[in-house]
Structure 1
Amino acid sequence: MTRPVRVLSLYEGFFAGGARVLHTDLISGLHARGSQQHSVLSIASEAHRESTRQPMAADPRYQHLLRAGIGVTTLGRSAGAEPPGRHTFTDRELLVASAAVRQADVILSLKEQPLGLLLALSERGLLPPVPVATCLHRSDPIHSGPALGWLVEATALGIVDATISCAISTDDAYARAGVDAIDRYIIANGIDTDRFRPGTPDEVGATKASLGIPASAPVVVFAARFDAMKNPGLFLRAVAEHRANRPDAHYVLCGAGMDWANPAFRELADEGGVGEADSIHALGIRDDMPAIFQIADIVALTSAFGEASPLCLLEGAACGATPITTDVGDAAHQVSGFGLVTSHRPHEIAAAWDVALGNRQTGRSASLAARDGVGRDRMVADYAGAINRLLCIEEAAA
C-alpha cells in the first residue's frame, strides 16, 4: 500500500476521562508520523455524565484532534450512562456511519461501548470487511454492562479481529469474560512528557496563588471523575484522617462531578467528615492538568475496582509528584520503584501520605527518574505495529 493507511476510531462520545485523553493523544501521534491517516466517528455530540453536560465542541480532546488535522464526524446523539444499543440507530445514522467506515482500512473502537453500532451495520449489510481492533482500558469488564456482550458477540462473529489492552490485568479479565479475539495485544499506556513535566518555581507559585494555596503548603491531588469506581468517598475519608495531623496540607480534587455544585459530592464529603474548608479545593473538570500536577507533592488514587493502567499516576509522577495508589489493575506494577501502594483503609492511606511528605525530596527524585519509562513514543510505535499487522492479516485472508 503506497498511500497512508486510513484508520477510523470510533468514540462513544467526547467526555472527560483517561481513556479518551490517551486515545486522542495516541491517534494524533500516529497521524503525525505520516504513514497513517486518522479520522474519528463519534456517536454522540454531547454527554450528560457525572452531573455535568459536556458538549463535544468544547471538549479539549475534540479541539486537539482538529488542531492535529484529524477529521471528526458525529451522529449527533447525547451520551448518557448507558451506551447505545444496536436497535436504537436510525437509518440516517447507519448510512452516515457506513460511509465513514467504507473510507477506512482499519477501525479502532475506543473501548467496547461503540460496538453496538458495528453490530447494527453488520445486521443491515452495511459493514464492509474492514479489520477491527477494540482498545480496552479497564480490568472489570462486568461493569461494562451490555457492551461486554457486544464485544463477545462481535469477536465470535469475526467483526472484531483483535483486542489491544493497556494492561495485563485488562487482557486477563476480558479473556476470562469470554472475549476470544484472533489477536490479543498488550500495549502499556504512555504520556506526553513534553506537557507533563516539572514546573518552574514561577509556574508552581502562580498556580498555587491562583488557587489560594500557600507557597509552602504540601498538596495532595486527586484526579478522577465522580464515580463509584474511583471511590471518592474513600479519598475524602482519608483527607479527614490526614488533615487532623497535617493542618497545613491542601487537597485538590479534579474531574467531572468533583465539585461542590454536585449535590452527591457534597453529601459524600459531609459523610466523610470533610467540610467545605479553605484547604479543600474541589475544582471539577480542568483543562490545565499539567499545572495542577506540578503543584502536587502526592498524586493519590483510591479506586475500588476497574482501573487498568491509570494515567493520573504517570502524569503526576512525570511532574515530580509521588504516586500513592490502592492495589487495582496494574497500578501497583506501574508505580513500582517510585510510588507507594496502600490498603483501602483511610487511616493507612493517610499514613502513607505522611510517609511520602516526610521523604519529599527522595520521592520527587524517584518520580522524575522514571520519566523516561512513561513517555508515549514507545506506545505510539507499538500501536503502529499492531495496526500494520492487523492490516496484513486481513489482506492475506482476502
Structure 2
Amino acid sequence: MTKVSTGKLTSHPTPVQEVIEKHQRGLNANPALYLQQNNSQLTQEVRDAAANYMGAQSSDIALTDSTTMGTALVINGLQIRENQEMLTTEFDYYSTHESLRYKAARTEATVREIPLYQNIQKVSEDEIVDILIDAVRPQTRLITATWVHSSTGLKVPIRRISDRLAEINANRSQSDRVLLFVDGVHGLGVEDATMSDLNCDFFTAGTHKWLFAPRGTGVIWGNPRSQAAVSPTIPTFTRTGDWGGRMTPGGFKPFEHQWAQAEAFRFHQQLGKSRVQKRIHSLSRQLKEGLANMSNVTLYTPMSKNLFSGIICFDVNHFSPVQVVRQLRQRNIIASDTPYAPSHARLTPGVYNTPQEVEQVLTAIRDLA
C-alpha cells in the first residue's frame, strides 16, 4: 500500500513507538510514582529537543496537544484593545478563523479577512507580500499567516512578510506593534528552517504529522521580543517560570505520548533536516510535474520552487475529490481530500516514499478517465 497522506496523521517510527511503550509500561506498573519521578525531567527533555530542532531556546517553547490548541492559546492570550484589529486571510484554516472570532467576541476588537492572492495558478511571492502589507492599518495588531496551505499546497514567504513588518513596527509603540502569528504545521518537519529564519512573533504546529511524533502533541514558539503580548489561558503544571513553561497547559494527559515527542525530534535530526527537505521537495516536484502534464488534471499547487512544500492539490476531470480518493484507495494508494470549499484531491508525499511510488500514483491518476 502506498501512503501519500502524511499531512493528516502518520505512523510512529520504531524509535518513537518503543519510547511510548516503555513509558506505558512504567505508568501501568505504578502510575503515580512513575509520573512523580519522571514528569518534570521528561517534559523538559521534550522542550529541549524541540528547541534544538527549531533553532530556539527551550524557555521559548510551550507544549500543546495540537495546532488548534496552540492557535487558540496564542490568540486567546493576546493583549489587544477594542479599537484594534486582527488581520487574517480567506485561506487560513478554520481553527484560526474561529479563534479570532472568539477573541473578537470577548474583546470587541475586530477581525478583517482579505484574499492573499487573486489566482493560485499565477501567484507570486511579491503579490502575497504586497497584498498583506498593503492591508495593514494603524489599528492592526495581529496578522495570522499559514506557512503552507493545506487547501492548495501554497508556501507563504514568511520571512519576507516579517521583514516588511519590521519596517512598520519601527515606528510603533510596543502595545501597537503588528504581531505575526504563523500556523506552521505543514512546514515543520519538511522545511529546513529555524525560528530565526522565519522571524515571526508566534509559531504553532502539531507534531503528529510530518515530524512523526505521537498523536496529540504539538508546540508553540514565542519570540522573546513579543512574549509579553500573550498571557497563559490554561494553568500550567510546569515549574520553570519561563514563558514557554507558563504557556504549557497543565492537567493529566497521555504522558507517554508527550514524553515520546522528544524522540521524534531526535529521530528527525538524525535523518537530517536538509536531507528531509530535499527528498520531500523532490517527490513533490515529481508529482507536480507529472500532474501538470495530464490533460485530465487541474493542478493548484504553484510550480515555483519557493512557493511549494510537501502538499500537492489538484482536480481530476469528471471526478469529485472524494471520488478521486476512493478510486486511488481501490488501487492501494492512500490520498486525502481537502476540508475546504472548494475541495480538491490532495497528495502529501513523505520522506518514506520513493520516486517509484510517485510514478505508480501518477499512473493511477492518469488512468482516471
TM-score by length of 2: 0.35
Q: Which has the higher contact order (CA 8 A, sep 6+)?
A: 2
Considering fraction of residues, name the structure with more strand: 1
TM-score by length of 1: 0.33
